[in-house]
Amino acid sequence: MERRVPIGIELVRKGVITENDIQKALEYQKIHTNKKLGDILNELKVCDSYRLIQSIGEILGEKAILLEPSDIKINLDDYISPDVLRRNRAIPFEIEGGRIKVCFSDTANKRAVDTIRLLLLNKGLIMEKYITFDSNIEKILVSMQGKETDDINSSSDITGLVDTIIKKAMDKRASDIHFEPMEDELRIRYRIDGELFTAGNLDKEKQAQVIGRLKAISNMHQEKQESQDGRILLYPDYNIRVSSQKNVHGEKFVLRLLKKNSDIRNLFELGFPKDEQIVKNSFEKRNSITIMAAPTGEGKTTTLYSIIDYLNKPEINVTTIEDPVEIRIPGLNQVEVDAKTSFSDSLRTVLRQDPDIILVGEIRDRETAEIALQAGQTGHYVLSTIHTIDSVEVITRLRKMGVSNYDIASTLATAVSQRLVRKICPHCARPREFTFEETEIMKRIGEKYGVNFDFYGKMTYDAVGCSQCNNTGYYDRIGVFEILNIDDELRELITSDASTLKMKEAAIRKNYKPLVIDGIYKVLAGVTTLEELNKKLVIY
């Protein structure tokens, strides 16, 4: 394969720049290591920018343009979301017939080019690729941020501004709002379906006023700049948890939007396998503990609520210990942990309240773990959560906390692990057949775990993007689950201090299937995409 001559040498040969210019650029690149040579030469203004980008285009065999805001002949929001453009450093700028011209700062970035090409193809447009300087891309992205900021900044006073930011987040189904002090601005981002999106950027001069307003409505100390926790109770349908933390540019605030009195979703609606027998085997227990396992933000608490709702009956005393109580459920005794009371303290008290079922929001330490397991050993059914990557690792995590193998083996009945994947947007999804590569990936995974997937007549969908889904192609999320029921063989392995690998091998020989299997079933059902599953589980 012929090796390409460095672009700097080609530019010198063309007489566009001198060898001295190259030396200056290379010295500059030692400090700015993330910048490409062409962008650096443009910043150093060693020659006319138009001539430089045209020469780079000729060398790379690409169409080139010195993209300016005046070249944008379309409404960018109609085609691709600003965050997708930022990630891929791309700008669509003109449509002719069924072809759309798109500028990239790096046409060699195949992933970025393919991502944009696919999104536009799903809108019925053929992409025509151009190259420009990254600084030109950035200039247009900044102007787009300005438009977003104008939408947020429509209020004339700080009270109205903060209120607009919060209400807009609610309208967009955001779970969190981030107020992030940057060096020269205050960035506002929303987390929607697990992904962060920039909502706007406010002038640095407004930062102190915005932070002051957030502290006032969160019942925080105005003078303190250490980490604080608070709540906003101004919105009738929401309980908003607030957390602040000082950083090098000010105080960052994160608002968690919790909807009050929201309906408990049915277990099957959450994505749990639609099999009543599996549910009964997993959760209709006594004298034991069931643990939900997943990283932070993967829906453990929501699933626990659904399990409690499934088990809750008038003749059963159900008590929950939470930090905080996120959803209030009629008929339950819900206890909220505060700064003066730990999970373990509350659990000791609850055990004297004659409970049948106890929900412990999270097992964080050895003391809580041991009391929870003891509760399971003395006639109660305990449900809790723990932070691990899968259900088998629950055993390892309890061991590392200092819980004995005997207590784990005698009390742990079920470990369930889950992840949340985004669902394909029903308003704009475009059906297509699976590619050969996609089918082979799924077949290979199925063979590994003894599963024969049925591909006959199955279709997948491309995430197109529309106004309903913020141009992401995805709307809402669903759980991907794996269930580990502890049988006699596993109890023996736990007691003998067997490794995680040996326990997993034994479980797979029975009926244990890892997260990826349930994920592929949901891909084949057209609920999500293989790309989204890979993003969460890294399967190829």
CATH for the 276-418+477-516 domain, from 3.30.750.24, 1.10.287.3510, 3.40.50.620, 3.40.50.300: 3.40.50.300
Rounded Cα distance between 177 and 267, Å, is: 28
Would you state the pLDDT for residue 342?
A: 77
Summarize the confidence of residues 389-398 as an average pLDDT. Answer: 95
pLDDT of res. 156: 65
pLDDT at 4: 63
Q: Give me the sheet containing 176-181, strands edge to edge.
A: 195-203, 185-192, 176-181, 250-259, 238-247, 228-232
pLDDT number for residue 113: 92
Residue bearing tokens 């807009």: 168
Residues 487 and 466 sit within 8 Å (Cβ to Cβ): no
Label residue 190 by pLDDT band (50, 70, 90). very high
Check pLDDT > 60 for residue 226. yes
Q: In whole numbers, what is the pLDDT of the chain averaged over residues?
A: 89
Does residue 131 contact residue 103 with C-beta atoms inside 8 Å?
A: yes
CATH architecture for residues 153-259: 2-Layer Sandwich (3.30)
Per-residue model confidence as pLDDT tens digits over 505-528: 999 998 899 999 999 999 999 999
d(CA 350, CA 211): 39
DSSP 419-447: EEEEEEPTTT-EEEEPPHHHHHHHHHHHH
pLDDT value at position 153? 64
Peptide bond between residue 236 and the one before it cis (omega within 30 degrees of 0)? no
Give 407's contacts (C-beta < 8 A, 6+ positions apart).
Answer: 370, 373, 374, 377
Say which residues have a Cβ less than 8 Å from residue 323's Cβ, sequence separation at least 6.
336, 337, 343, 361, 362
Domain boundaries, the chain: 7-134, 153-259, 276-418+477-516
Mean pLDDT across the stretch 453-461? Answer: 91
Residue 62, helix vs strand vs coil: coil
Q: What is the pLDDT of residue 440?
A: 96
Is 13 strand, coil or helix?
helix
**Mean pLDDT of the region 123-135:** 92
pLDDT at residue 532 in the model: 93
Write out the H or E segment, with its range, that includes residue 96.
Answer: strand 90-96
Question: Into which CATH architecture does domain 7-134 fall?
Answer: 2-Layer Sandwich (3.30)
Extract the tokens encoding 133. Answer: 């300087």
User: pLDDT value at position 462?
Assistant: 86
**pLDDT tens digits for range 413-443:** 999 999 999 999 988 888 889 999 999 999 9
In the prediction, which pLDDT does 466 show? 77
Mean pLDDT of 163-172: 91
pLDDT at 118 over 90: no
Vertex 383 angle, CA 381 and 387, to 5°: 150
Q: Provide, rounded to the nearest whole percent, the portion of the chain with pLDDT above 70.
A: 96
Identify the residue with better confidence: 343 or 505. 505
Spatial separation of the C-alpha atoms in residues 147 and 145, rounded to whole Å: 5
From the DSSP assignment, how many helices (H) and strands (E) are in the chain? 20, 19
- Looking at residue 144, its pLDDT comes to 72
CA atoms within a 13 Å half-sphere pointing along the CA-CB vector of 28: 18
Res. 1 pLDDT band, cuts 50 70 90: very low
Question: Could you report the per-residue pLDDT of 12-61, keeping only the tens digit for each?
Answer: 998 988 999 888 888 888 777 778 888 889 888 888 999 999 999 999 99
Give the residue from 288, 207, 214, 279 showing the smallest Cα distance to 253.
214
CA 472/CA 462 separation, integer angstroms: 11
Give 154 or 218, the one with higher predicted confidence: 218
388, 395 contact by CB (below 8 A): no
Residue 262 — pLDDT band, cuts 50, 70, 90? Answer: low
Q: Decide: residue 121, CB within 10 A, 0-12 exposed, 13-18 middle, 19+ buried.
A: middle
Q: Which residue from 486, 515, 502 is spatially nearest to 421, judged by alpha carbons?
A: 515
Q: For position 29, what pLDDT does the model report?
A: 81
Return the pLDDT at 149.
59
Average pLDDT in the 250-260 region? Answer: 91
Pick from 424, 464, 448, 425: which is nearest to 540 by CA?
Answer: 448
Which has the higher per-residue pLDDT, 106 or 1? 106
Given a cut of 90, whether residue 339 has pLDDT beyond it is no
Terminal-residue alpha carbon distance, the chain:
27
The pLDDT of residue 284 is: 84
> Helix (H, G, I), strand (E, B), or coil: what is residue 78?
helix
141-154, pLDDT tens digit by residue?
877 765 555 566 66
Nearest to 93 by CA among 59, 120, 61, 124: 120
> According to the model, what pLDDT value does residue 261 have?
65
Lowest model confidence (mean pLDDT) among 23-37, 64-78, 231-245, 283-297 = 23-37
pLDDT-based confidence at residue 165 (cuts at 50, 70, 90): very high
